[in-house]
A and B are shown apart, each in its own frame.
Chain A
């Protein structure tokens, strides 16, 4: 288990200081895939580097499996880092070593024999689907292959945790999907707890169990991905989660976002609403998403400009227990969840 308690980190130079983390507390449970999402500059990269003490927090505690990192001697800290693999946006492979030798590197640090290291590295390369690239150099690989090699390397010391710092941000959508699939497999098959840092909601949707949303150096909300998807509380969560097509093409009616979970799919909800309220709505956006194995529907509707019809629709929504959020248009007053 990874526990972060009241982590603060301030960067200072002669002229100014910049607060990267302000009293951040999080608990990451064993076996889960935990996402941390935020825009660039929100502090998420600093936060993930605090987990393995690549960045030392100014105050607060990082506790991994009951051991407080700040209290460890340097040697103990280096030893503990072998339990925490890490992969990066820029892959960070050793350019002058073959892929196989890259994967051997953490084993060399751990003092393994050369033959044992190479055997283990070869196994890991098969696991990530790169067995045929063992003798290649990183410059001969594509981005996706480089990240696979980096994943194999991060797994070489049999870590319990894997930290992923924007690991798919430099990859195209297809490659991103295959890397995310690999990460999920590693989580399921090897039982590695994974912490994913990203600015892309689709990464969170597709593999994370829980997510923390970060903005301006603080964590604004934490919860199950499905929960935050259905009911984003903070402005930043809404901004990250809501589709970008919320500006109505014409008209001035307000826009609402409604989210159904799988259970509602049996009833023709929208038709029912339109008939019983006797008011037409404009569908601006609709999609289904698979979160944690369940289908979620998301729709953005523009209500009639006329207040009474809009009121009837809202009453209908309330009465049927459908969650909705006003997201824009005339009469937008912020949080109405």
Chain B
């Protein structure tokens, strides 16, 4: 191990970087889902073949999601910094970065949720309607529980995407492995640091991916054998 890596490790910068990456990703994902999940459900439910069509609302939300989805994150990130300042009082540091990550991830999560919920069999929804279930009950007790496996898989994909975003946030004042790779690696012409950060990121992605898929498999009741 080279001198600089030992220094980074001994001073705790690397450990902090791993921790910052993990918690920025998790907290951002949590808040993205708080808003993105209901938004995705609304997108699905209000569509013209949904259980409660509201074409105008659906078109507006659909357009908004598309607009935000088409802005590259590196630009969106800078553009929403004023919003971050408004919400958390600063445009620097991890808290500001979490705001930008959440804003960038919401439309992504909404689309993921929408496509998962759309997969729920029309016939099952019809059966619930025939029993006298209203829209709220159908959403809470049919759409979301039946789409569970697909939602979990979607969450894994979203988490990995947010992790990638968080690395980019390192360039404009966020912390984490992205910041270390840029500041200690790229800017000091030290490729070793860059590669170490890449390796650590791969490990984190692997852990998220494997754990998520395991949960998805274990909780799916469709394939389980007697």
Contact = CB atoms under 8 A, between A and B. Distances in A.
Nearest to A163: B130
Contacts of A157: 131-132
B131 A105 contact: yes
A96 B127 contact: no
A93 B124 contact: yes
A271 B123 CA distance: 55
Given A105-B141, A140-B224, A94 B132 contact: no
Interface residues of B, number: 26
16 contacts: A79-B132, A90-B123, A92-B123, A96-B145, A96-B221, A97-B145, A97-B221, A98-B221, A109-B133, A109-B137, A137-B221, A137-B222, A139-B222, A140-B225, A150-B127, A157-B131
B67 interface: no
A86 B130 contact: yes
A88 B133 contact: no
Given A78-B132, A81-B129, A108-B141, 12 more contacts: A54-B126, A82-B131, A86-B130, A86-B131, A92-B127, A93-B127, A94-B146, A96-B149, A96-B222, A139-B221, A140-B224, A150-B127
Give the top 5 A-B pairs by smallest Cβ distance, nearest first: A81-B132, A92-B127, A86-B130, A92-B123, A78-B132
Nearest to A105: B131
A136 interface: yes
Contacts of B149: 96
Contacts of A74: 134
Given A88-B123, A92-B121, A109-B137, A54 B129 contact: yes
B75 interface: no
A330 to B, nearest CB: 48
A124 to B, nearest CB: 14
A4 interface: no
Nearest to B220: A96
Nearest to B133: A109
Contacts of B142: 94
A52 interface: yes
A292 B47 CA distance: 47
Nearest to B129: A54
B56 interface: no
A68 interface: no
B148 interface: yes
A143 interface: no
B1 interface: no
Contacts of B128: 105, 109
A109 B221 contact: no
A94 B226 CA distance: 17
Given A106-B132, A137-B224, A94 B145 contact: yes
B146 A95 contact: yes
A92 B131 contact: no
Contact of B132 (A82, A92, A95, A153): A82
Q: Which of B127, B148, B224 has the most CB of A within 10 A?
A: B127
A84 interface: yes
B55 to A, nearest CB: 14
Contact of B133 (A78, A90, A136, A137): A78
A106 B148 CA distance: 21
B203 to A, nearest CB: 32
Interface string A131-166: 000001101100000000010010001000001000
Contacts of A88: 123, 126-127
